[in-house]
Amino acid sequence: MRIGVLALQGDFALHAKALARCRSASRDRSTGEASPPVDVEAVLVRKPEELEAVGGLIIPGGESTTLLKLMDEWEFVPAIEKFHAAGKPIFGTCAGLIVLARDVESPRQFSLGLIDVAVERNAYGRQRDSFEALGTAILEGRRVPVTMVFIRAPRIRRVGAGVESLAEHGGETVMARQGSVLVATFHPELTDDTTVHRYFCDLVRRAMATA
């Protein structure tokens, strides 16, 4: 299984390392049972045509305005829309969430609209306001602990009717999914906790099996 990481700007290298950690066995934090290694390869995607060789795509955190500008220059927007139309899973974290959202506020800006949420940029404050928290997510019907790192994070202000809220912090949705699109306001790649990346790997595996 090959998963692409959009490598135009942001912390794409950390997502690649997180996927590499999924290749090792770990212990399920909710049950204490061993989780088997995941046969996954991370592929750094720098050109639209490279999307054809991967089964899923991660859009990392960074600076959403810069990321969108680079995506436009390299003609990634139609390529990612085609990727999504083919049913291939996409995971956006922080700035990646902003890029995928239906509506963006503070200020308003273009986004792909692939998940029906409204987000407010930098709603958690500046870099010095960054923090780490231990939260819970409901994945595959199980409640599991997840380590969450928030850095200049956006807030999900509205969740559409077709969107499933997978995790909350402070009473607000911080991870959500609509079909093949998964988003998070926090940075799972900044911790040793592979729970979220393993979940995305499973989405990709099932999509590949269906295809």
Q: How far apart are CA 7 and CA 71, in angstroms?
A: 10
pLDDT of residue 32: 67
Q: What is the pLDDT of residues 88-106, one digit of tens each?
A: 999 999 999 999 999 999 8
Residues of the chain above pLDDT 70, percent: 95
Number of Cβ within a 10 Å radius of residue 207: 17
Of the CA atoms within 13 Å of residue 73, those in its CB half-sphere come to: 9
Give me the pLDDT at residue 130, please: 77
Q: Which two tokens stand for residue 13?
A: 């290298």
CA distance 97 to 186: 10
Q: Pick the more confident residue, 39 or 123.
A: 39
CB count within 10 Å of CB 159 equals 17
Amino acid identity, position 144: V
Q: Is 80 exceeded by the pLDDT of residue 128? A: no
pLDDT at 129 over 70: no
Q: What is the pLDDT of residue 27?
A: 72
Per-residue model confidence (pLDDT) at position 13:
97
Query: For residue range 4-48, what is the model confidence (pLDDT) as tens digits?
Result: 999 999 999 999 999 999 999 887 766 667 789 999 999 999 999
- Residue 47, classed as helix, strand or coil, is coil
What pLDDT is attached to residue 83? 98
The whole-number pLDDT of residue 30 equals 61
Complete domains list, the chain, with CATH:
2-210 (3.40.50.880)
* Model pLDDT, residue 116: 98
Q: Would you name the residues annotated as active-site residues? A: 94, 187, 189
The whole-number average pLDDT for the span 157-164 is: 97
